[in-house]
Homo-oligomer: A and B are copies of this chain.
Amino acid sequence: MSCASLYAPELRARGFRMTSQRKAILHVLHHSGDHLSPAEIFERARREAPGLTYPTVYRTLEFLAKNGLAMPAHIVGKKQLAYQIVGESHHHLICRSCGSSLEVGLDALEPAIRQLEASSGYRFINSHVTLLGLCPKCQKEAG
């Protein structure tokens, strides 16, 4: 039984279908856990779903994002938009000069989000935070 079956009931309940292409893409995202570009996702998912095409990859990623199963992130310095499975919130601190990045915890955000759910009426809020700064090394080089 594939890990994708974890997601199937949620999709079906909303009237969507679990296809071999979606299974393959979810499988790749789920097991990587990291940010992956559409090209990386295409290459890996194609092993399980041979006929897979690029339009399907792009459409599936947008679909997963709309349904809260994946999160898109524009990583400064990389050209392509990258996607990541939604699990725990991952927050990134990125150097805008050299592009090096650091995974950071922002537990401070959690209470604020709960409060926001209460005040805004929105629910199931996922957060994606990108922090841009200058890393110590690049501060020195910049003088």
Contact = CB atoms under 8 A, between A and B. Distances in A.
A17 interface: no
Interface string A66-100: 11100111101100010000000000010111000
B128 A130 contact: yes
Given A128-B132, A129-B129, A133-B117, A68 B96 contact: yes
A120 to B, nearest CB: 6
A130 B90 CA distance: 12
Interface residues of A, number: 45
Nearest to A94: B122
A113 interface: yes
A133 B129 contact: no
Contact of A125 (B66, B122, B132, B136): B132
A91 to B, nearest CB: 9
B108 A121 contact: no
B133 A125 contact: yes
Contact of A131 (B81, B95, B108, B127): B127
